Structure 1
Amino acid sequence: MKTTLKTGLMAAAAAILPLSAMAQDQADLITPVEDELTFVFVPKVIHPWYDVVAEGAAYAAEEFAKKGIEIEVIWDQPPQADVVDQNQRIEANIGRQPDGLAVACLDQATNVQLMGEAKEAGINVTSFNSYCADDFQFIGPKSSKQDGYDLGEHLAEILGGEGKIAILSGSLTASDHVQRIEGFKEALAEHEGMEIVFEQPDDDILEKAVELTESVLAAHPDLDGIFGSNASNPIGAARAVENAGKAGEVHIVGMDDLPEAVDFVCSGVIDALKAQRQWDMGYWAVTYMVAMNENHTVPMFHDTGSRLLTADDCE
């Protein structure tokens, strides 16, 4: 009996030893970064919104420099939200073999195909701002539907559940713009007196948002509200509404907290914004791409969140 017990304990100890060695050796899986890293960001378009993302990325790079890890951050931005142009930039950067590639998806199907090619080429790939696919790490709101819904509810509350509404729909292929509109329409559908009388894409171009708003104000002088699905069009709508002398009469809700948009909130031209945390997107994209290069595991989804911004926040 004693011999059997002793033999069993020795066998158990022998089994534990390799496991202990494995646990202690996990640090050997980490690859130290010795050379300068190059990270390429390919957003949807040149836009002030991405300037804030770039600030977060630069801050992270500065932090790593203090730890002895040098990072070159390159931004390759299409001048307009053009799917072909963006895909050409992604493809060209695959050929350059950077240490990390961060993409804001403008067109999920084609972007995902190219991101898959980048991954196969051994490039560490992440995505931000606009969700791409579960195959790739994503930093930002995985679904933007809630933001649109919240703004729809806020506008319906302001108007007492009745009114004629225009939608500036941004880029028709951008998942975040599309989802916000879906959420906005769902909110309005709960109020029988809310009617959408205009919906047009502005392609994330501020000047086009101004022109579209001017058109809808002329076609619908009794317009009650406007929803902007991206960072540009609330500003464009506000400029046109203010120029038409209809500030406070035509109520505007939309996305993001660019300085001019916030000024319009504080002056009463825009009623509410849903502000994202794009600085965090840039910061964490760099942080996670460094971790990937070190062979660390990273979360596949990092929700950076958003908050409602109204005139109450201006006090």
Structure 2
Amino acid sequence: MTTKVTKLLAATALTLTLPAGSAMAGEIAVIVKTTNSNFWQNVNKGASAAIAGQSEHTMTFDGPAAESAIADQVNMVDNAINRGVAGIVLAPSDPDALTPAVQRAFESGIPVAIIDSGLGEDAKGTYQAFLSTDNCAAGELVAQSMIDAVGTEGKVAVMSYVAGVGSEIGRVGCFVDYLGANSKLDIVGPFYSQSQMATALNQTTDILAANADLKGIFGANEPTAVGMGRALVQSGKAGQIAAFGFDGNGDLQDFVKDGTLNATAVQGSFQMGELGVKAVLDVISGNAVDGFIDTGVVLVTKENIDTPVAQNVLY
């Protein structure tokens, strides 16, 4: 599903009303792709900041042990519905697998804000807001930066995370499409780490060994980019290959500072949590919310990493 379709679905959902009997107070359940990531913990900080601004509702934060544990995430949404939460903020790990769960929430009168990754077309009308980086635009931004760094010919490897996730479709798909339309660069991959740092490290190590003429490499989310960066360092190729990451934890910041990474594209993860909870609270209160809320992306480089623009999104 394209970013444009995702936005359309979210906007359409805004025009619909929740069934009678919607919960008016109580727990806001924030359910993310995994709790084992600084990115999602920063979402937690934003959500906590939003809930602290009022006294009527409480918040819980949950997620599977790994982004690939999709069935576990579905169960968490089902459990939240069964205990009658007032609202749900959800980062779906799979656009199709989570759609029935969100439909059940809608049928139960529970408002839902989707963050980070979109849902499938069958979810049309069942959630009230979609908050995300424009992942397609972010992928194109990194692609243009890659062309600026390596030129228009040669090999570029793509280290992705979980195939088919909404954010991956936009981010990696548009990166690859942009290179195809604007250069003659050959794509090696994509390779899927399942958002496991160790897997990304091993995959990158193998790719570097098999492609001595590699000019550039893109790690498309936090654990993947960290594993990629470590492989570059261990292979002695840090700084010799144009490398771009995605997300902004301490490891990735260090890689930018020492030149292992040319840059890393950082999403507004704090804003996803904060604005996601606020959107649900607005729906519960009967206030209008935008169908799509762009939480932004900043390309963080050695030159701008200490500026307020970068520091506001790093974590």
Answer yes or no: is 1:45 the counterpart of 2:31: no
Counterpart position of 2:46:
56
Q: Cα deviations across residues 247-298 of structure 1 (Å, max 9, x unaligned)?
A: 1112211211112111111111011111111111111122122222222222
Q: Cα deviations across residues 100-159 of structure 1 (Å, max 9, x unaligned)?
A: 111112211221221011111111211111122553211113x41111111111111111
CA distance in 1, matches of 2:305, 2:143: 22
TM-superposed deviation, 1:32 = 12
CA distance in 2, matches of 1:256, 1:265: 12
Structure 1 residues 192, 293: CA separation in 2 closer, same or farther (over 3 Å shift)?
A: closer
Counterpart position of 1:149:
140
For residues 7-156 of structure 1, the aligned pairs below 5 Å read: 37-46=26-35, 47-64=37-54, 69-81=55-67, 82-132=69-119, 134-135=124-125, 136=127, 137-141=129-133, 143-156=134-147
Q: Is the 8 A contact 2:23 2:109 kept in 1?
A: no
Q: Is the 8 A contact 1:276 1:305 kept in 2?
A: yes
Answer yes or no: is 1:270 the counterpart of 2:237: no
3-state SS in 2 of match to 1:58: helix
TM-superposed deviation, 1:192 = 4.5
Q: Cα deviations across residues 215-258 of structure 1 (Å, max 9, x unaligned)?
A: 11122222221111212211111111011111111221121111
CA distance in 1, matches of 2:176, 2:290: 32
TM-superposed deviation, 1:93 = 1.6
Q: Give the total of aligned pairs.
A: 278
TM-superposed deviation, 1:39 = 0.9
Structure 1 residues 218, 32: CA separation in 2 closer, same or farther (over 3 Å shift)?
A: closer
TM-superposed deviation, 1:71 = 3.0
2:161 pairs, out of 170, 181, 203, with 170
CA distance in 2, matches of 1:156, 1:222: 16
Q: Is the 8 A contact 1:32 1:294 kept in 2?
A: no
CA distance in 2, matches of 1:291, 1:249: 49
Q: Is the 8 A contact 1:128 1:285 kept in 2?
A: yes
CA distance in 1, matches of 2:78, 2:45: 25
Counterpart position of 2:277:
286
Q: Which amino acid aligns with 1:282?
A: G
Structure 1 residues 144, 314: CA separation in 2 closer, same or farther (over 3 Å shift)?
A: closer
Q: Is the 8 A contact 1:198 1:216 kept in 2?
A: no
Q: Is the 8 A contact 1:56 1:279 kept in 2?
A: yes
Q: Is the 8 A contact 2:23 2:86 kept in 1?
A: no
TM-superposed deviation, 1:311 = 1.4
CA distance in 2, matches of 1:264, 1:139: 28
Answer yes or no: is 1:314 the counterpart of 2:305: yes
Higher helix share: 1
CA distance in 2, matches of 1:77, 1:288: 20
* Aligned-CA RMSD value: 1.9
TM-superposed deviation, 1:191 = 4.7
3-state SS in 2 of match to 1:270: coil
| Structure possessing the higher relative contact order (Cα contacts under 8 Å, 6 or more residues apart) | 2
1:182 pairs, out of 167, 173, 189, with 173
Q: Cα deviations across residues 166-192 of structure 1 (Å, max 9, x unaligned)?
A: 111111121111211111112211355
Q: Is the 8 A contact 1:171 1:202 kept in 2?
A: yes
Counterpart position of 1:26:
none
Answer yes or no: is 1:234 the counterpart of 2:200: no
What is the TM-score normalised by the length of structure 1?
Answer: 0.83
3-state SS in 1 of match to 2:185: strand
What is the TM-score normalised by the length of structure 2?
Answer: 0.83
3-state SS in 1 of match to 2:222: coil
Q: Which amino acid aligns with 1:59?
A: A
Counterpart position of 2:241:
250
Bigger shift: residues 146-155 or 187-196: 187-196
